[in-house]
Chains A and B, each alone.
Chain A
Amino acid sequence: MSMRVGDESGRARAESNDAGLAPTATVRSPRGGEWRRALRSFRRHTVAMIGLGFLVFIFLACFVGVHFAPSPTEQALLEPTHGPSWDHWFGTDEISRDELSRVLHGGQVTLKLAVGVAILTTVIGVLIGAVAGFYRGWVDELLMRFTDLWIALPALPFLAVAVSIGTVSLGPLGSLDLGGPLGMTLLLSLLLWGSIARVVRGATLSLREREFVDAARAIGSTNRRIIWRHVLPNCLGPIIVNATLVIAEAILVESTLSFLGFGIQPPTPTWGNLLTNSISNIEDTWWLVVFPGAVIFLTVLAVNFVGDGLRDAFDPRRQVRA
């Protein structure tokens, strides 16, 4: 599904439509020494490196630095709710909890979720994309029409309703709270695999025609083996780029959902639900909006920068800037 306007997925769909008017990008993926070249190219990309630096900082803060911050549940009851101060860098919330530590704890949840979603969507997307691209014909047509529509559906309402189902029983596997971090991860993954599927399908389609596939078939490799050992390794570049962008998307979707109150509920903090109560009394507690919001924004920005750097690193055409 697309959460936001202008998703890669939407663009990917349009790109696959206009075969002649705006040609699609070449597919190439690093092998051996090319990984090093890609790495070098990435390192030279200033903006991407800044993004990477920031992400490292955020991860460290949320997973390591958090231990040095006051507990997110401890309430400084002697002080009224206030904005940034020396003791509380991000201020305190309505019930006098330290906002900074709430942000850091929230970060743990959101970030873990985002990475989890990226991994799962890659798995799903690669599966669907590779099958569609490799077998072509009606399989491809069917899968891609389905993917198109899946991408076009608005994620937010669907997710909100699904999450509101609450806890589902999975039989012998126990029960799953769809509104919890694990449940949300699964749900988001089920909805966001579209862009990766499109990319993998495109790459598979073109790679399939290459000689090494014929060669592999000539020596008797099964289809599955060919896909796994020959086609997929060459798609790695675009896959990595898209997976990175999925991370950004996941952060945004999760925080939007939680903000509205339809996602992960308090007391589990996530970056989104830290702003939930601000809809009504924003004038009194501006710091409760600005700080968590800025953290989300900057993190997503950093991920996008890194994604851009990766895209340039893996695309041989873009490396030469005149």
Chain B
Amino acid sequence: MIRFIGRRLLVAVPVVLLATMLLFALVSARGDPTAKYRNDPGFSQQTLRNLRHEFHLDEPWAQQYVDWAGDFVQGDWHTSFSTRQPVSEMVGTALWNSTLLIGTTLVFAVSLALLIGVVSAVRRYSAFDHLATGFSYFGFSMPDFFFALLLQLFVVFVLEQALGVHVLYVQGKYTVGREGDFVNLAQHMVLPVLTLMLTSVAAWSRYQRDSMLEVLTADYVRTARAKGVPRGQIIRRHALRNALVPFVTVVAIDAGVLLGGVVVVESVFGWPGMGLLFYDALKFEDYPVLLAWMAVATIFVVVANIAADVLYGLLDPRIRVQGTRRSVRRSEREAAEAAARAAEVPA
């Protein structure tokens, strides 16, 4: 198992390098980041020269990348152009805030998706199943920004103006003066989490349903029935246990994708996380923040992918005990071919 993780990590390093190189190229292609400050009274010529020197802007592209990468790895992430704060601090806070959001979303979304998916599969074509399917379509056709805005509209017009209920907040993380208040935090988190959950649950529950349906018709489920295992146990210990494997992989991969979704949600709700950080950085061309953001995001996605593989390995004993997915697939293919050949023998 350790070897398995180790190998994935090894592969991850060049991936992160390549991705950051690509992103660096993209950002550099936008031109000289100090150009727009040339006429800005807040920046003296000397300051500009210092900046250009600090960021090695006079050097060739590749050299710039190496310099930047070297700095980044050593922890020197420079200072933001816009806020003059150390970038590492900004990213640190933002990362924590987004993790809060994504973490909460994951917990609720996974539970809900599993529940809906399993029940839909077990009670196929029932009213619940049809409702769940409808909900899924609703969920993955709905643009998240639209849903976010709708929620805001709902809170403002329906809850507050019509019903006088002031419980949920549509902006920010804390009400000014109430930092650290858990309830206040929760009140601010409800809407963003709901928005993030919508697409997640819609997609995952559907996937889980499909997964369960395939597993429920598997041969080993038939064997369990033939042994006399009660239905509940079959669903839990045989079907779900095996259906969890692809589900978990999908969730882990999607966790990386959530980082993109978070950009929208945080921008609309003003949540001070990685999404809003990106939004501001790109809008105001805050070069150092942008680069650091890119690197962190790439690492996050790569880690999520590795986590997916690791989880997969943990849950599927064939990987855990045998080592690589490829070898398992090959041996399975051979076994299947042997069986097929045998079955074709004429009577």
Contact = CB atoms under 8 A, between A and B. Distances in A.
A and B touch in the complex (CB under 8 A): yes
**Binding site of B, secondary structure by majority: helix, strand, loop or mixed?**
helix
Contact of B332 (A19, A152, A256, A261): A19
Contacts of B202: 6
A46 B219 CA distance: 33
B254 A290 contact: no
Contacts of B206: 6
Given A5-B199, A153-B301, A261-B283, A22 B211 contact: yes
B146 A21 contact: no
A216 interface: no
Interface stretch (A60-68, A101-109, A156-164, A231-239): A156-164
A303 B141 CA distance: 9
A154 B156 contact: no
Contact of B260 (A145, A156, A164, A289): A156
Interface string A73-110: 00000000000000000000000000000000000000
A139 interface: no
A interface residue count range (under 10 / 10 to 19 / 20 to 34 / 35 or more):
35 or more
Contacts of A256: 143-145, 264
Contacts of B23: 158, 161
A31 B185 CA distance: 59
Interface string A248-268: 100010011001111000000
A22 B214 contact: yes
Contact of A154 (B138, B144, B260, B326): B260
A4 B146 contact: no
A289 B148 CA distance: 11
A20 to B, nearest CB: 5
A6 B301 contact: no
Interface in A126-185: 141, 145, 148-149, 151-158, 160-162, 164-166, 168
Given A275-B146, A289-B146, A156 B263 contact: yes
B314 interface: no
Contact of A161 (B203, B204, B290, B329): B290
A230 to B, nearest CB: 22
Interface of B: 11, 15, 19, 23, 26-27, 29-30, 125, 137-138, 140-146, 149-150, 152-153, 156-157, 199-200, 202-204, 206-207, 211, 214-215, 242-243, 245-246, 249-250, 253-254, 256-261, 263-264, 267-268, 278-279, 282-283, 290, 293-294, 297-298, 301-302, 304-305, 312, 316, 318, 325-326, 328-329, 332-333
